[in-house]
Structure 1
């Protein structure tokens, strides 16, 4: 006979951590298999200093923009047949300030805006090595290679075409990717993981561009990227790792005229995480642009918490 009980449980990396600025990546321990029947929340704080717009996928060469964002991702893990699956929703309060220099060499200082940056809805499903496991089964599962199919649809945050600095993009971004994870250690208490996420982002038109654009219609070509992480548990509760990201593409056009702002950037950084309580974990990351064409530059500091809840049955 089974007794049903509720309890809180946390496993580092059991959810797909959201991104707030498209260029910053999901972060380490984001693409690992997790147990089904788990719900949770992942609030974060990011500080970005960059010459990209707050959404992180269009840059303005000589601009200097500071962005503070507070994204919160809600998620639920479940089984789709015998495969792991996950749904997510992220909303993204933010504020931004700084200086923008246009392509016409006009400089606007003291800019400030608050509201919401782009958020997303997402669906992830297992393709290879991703069984739908209960908490008990997951605890006994031997780490193995896994691959997921991932669809993420970004919706626009706050937008006003009369403003020079916007947090939202006034369009949709559709992202497809195949997150993968490779275990380098079978020791469940000291795991070593390589994670890799190749993806493509497609953008709808912005039919009401900001006045800074000085046009009637803005489009952006697809952006291709790959995000990679190597992490290792130094103790049972503490892990650390290195991050590497590369993105290319994403040039924009205004009324059919190319803007010569193709993104070609390599970024890297360091990350760490700690299990504070059985139901609560914390992560932190610092990242910089290592190399980029056309003067693209930026740095990022990120703090995150993960709260989880699961309902299980005990014999």
Structure 2
């Protein structure tokens, strides 16, 4: 009897680790079996939020579960981003990652409540939002070289607006200023809406912003496009040259959005999400919708997305230090 009990105990001891291992494995195979929450760390209605909703609807359809967009704004995206950093790594809480939050905020804030490289696993970059330089028609410059020259001779330089201190357009403006020697003076706004109103109205001479917000006003002739910061010209604005074409070789600065999960999310779940996300953003319908928002669709691999995040962290570290940008 004792021998039988000992044998049974050994069998149970051997089976327990296998049973424990099968639990998570079974959960991964069953993923997803409930709605997924996509945290957008900004208010509804902007380009980032709209892009997230376009992707969420189609991603949910492919996964067979609803992907709920949950807006959690505050502290330039830090609050919502922290929520995902501390969420369970089970694939049911995802982050709509934004370059301003993940690769710029760590340099401009004295402290952020997350570690970009340690607290998240990249899933895929949705795409790049192209930036554009526009001016009020009263500004006597039609090209970037003319704008730079004008800034150097105009008393007080030329003021340019952006979505806020430490935003991607702000840093793009500072990089352009460093590369050209222009006398550009930054004017931070709390978002892009008021800055666009001011440049259209003429109280702000220059604006660095996302193409999506500027496009309608460019079409109406209310603002003049100077250059786009993408590597190539845009199909929607083929007559507008790139900054690189305009005398600043190699200059490129775009704002990106992508999907990330909490660190330690199982690899099979990350791979499943990436496959479905790639299919979504490469579909003609979604590509066209994102293009209307000024976003060039991508859907790359976790490794490729992670490589860009690391490179951008290093790039913006240098820009922020050189421009001495700090948000208290």
- Answer yes or no: same fold by TM over 0.5: no
The two structures have a TM-score, normalised by structure 1, of 0.25
The two structures have a TM-score, normalised by structure 2, of 0.25
The higher relative CO (CA closer than 8 Å, separation ≥ 6) is in: 2
Higher helix share: 2
From the CA coordinates, give the structure whose radius of gyration is larger: 2
